[in-house]
Structure 1
Amino acid sequence: MLVLVGAFNVISGLTSLFRPDYYVVVAGELLVFDFTAWGWIWLALGAVQVVAGAGCLGGQRWARVAGIGLAGLAAIGHLAFLAAFPLWGLISIALCVLVMYALVVPDENSLG
């Protein structure tokens, strides 16, 4: 799920950089920053999420901790970006919450 959310954020970043007219509002109506800044934020955050997701697939503890923090940051970011694409923002926040839950719940192998 973390790799998927990261890929979605990379796509959102590329869309913000190359097609700012795709979104519902103009850049001046965003809560903070403009579409170029959000494009770089989503691109960087998504790339790091994909790397952390790959680490999670490899069973790395650092990747789980990083994934929880990155999903939290992404949820907050989507909340600030909500005016640009409301429905997708809500879906992304829900996916981030699911990722955080999945990474917090201990796996069966670590229980004994």
Structure 2
Amino acid sequence: MAVMSDRTRSGHRLPDGGKVNGASQFAGAALMFSGPLSILMGAAGIARDSLFFSSSHYAYRFGLTAWGVIHLVIGVALVVAALGILTNKSWGRGAGVAAAGISLITQFMFVPYYPMWAIPVMTLDLVIVFALTRLQFDPDRDR
């Protein structure tokens, strides 16, 4: 029986034999879902769509154009992180945790403007962070 190597042609070892594991694959797909939606939300904010409600007595009050730019930039970061995770780049998981964490914070700040959007996206971001930071159990590691 032939033993297959987990080395690429250039000789670099890939984690998990070059495959993305289930939690990372889920997180990458979820980031790829959340990113374009944030980009669309940012475009709506920049266009000053009537989708948002602006509260006058809120500590994190920004103009809708500023919120649109914030969502647009975060959406692009989420997509880039998703591509890094799904292509198994070494920086992908860290970028995914950072982008989802920043998205989580900004969605919390965005709750008064559109709570029916921000709360589910906060939940999705939290699940993404959990999926990317959970401990990997390897039963053969201690043998």
The structure 2 residue matched to 1:72, chosen from 101, 115, 133, is 101
- 1:1-58: CA deviations, max 9, x gaps? 11111111111101111143111x2364553311100101110110111011001001
CA distance in 1, matches of 2:45, 2:33: 18
Task: Say which one has the larger Rg.
Answer: 2
Runs of at least 5 residues in structure 2 that lack an aligned partner in the other structure:
1-29
Task: Indicate the RMSD between aligned Cα atoms, in angstroms.
Answer: 2.0
Structure 1 equivalent of residue 17 of structure 2: none
Runs of at least 5 residues in structure 1 that lack an aligned partner in the other structure:
none
More displaced 10-residue stretch of structure 1: 29-38 or 60-69: 29-38
| 1:43 aligned onto 2:75 | no
**What SS class does the counterpart of residue 91 from structure 2 fall into?**
helix
Give 1:18's aligned amino acid.
A
The structure 2 residue matched to 1:53, chosen from 82, 87, 91, is 82
Contact 1:81 1:89 in 2 (8 A): yes
**Structure with more of its chain in helix, by fraction:** 1
Give 1:41's aligned amino acid.
I
Per the normalisation by structure 2, the TM-score is 0.69
Contact 2:100 2:129 in 1 (8 A): yes
Per the normalisation by structure 1, the TM-score is 0.86
The structure 2 residue matched to 1:26, chosen from 54, 58, 61, is 54
- Offset, 1:108: 6.9
Contact 1:29 1:83 in 2 (8 A): no
Query: Pairwise mapping of residues 84-99 of structure 1 onto structure 2 (< 5 A)?
Result: 84-99=113-128
Give 1:98's aligned amino acid.
V
**Count of residues in Structure 1 that have an aligned counterpart in Structure 2:** 110
Q: Percent identity?
A: 27
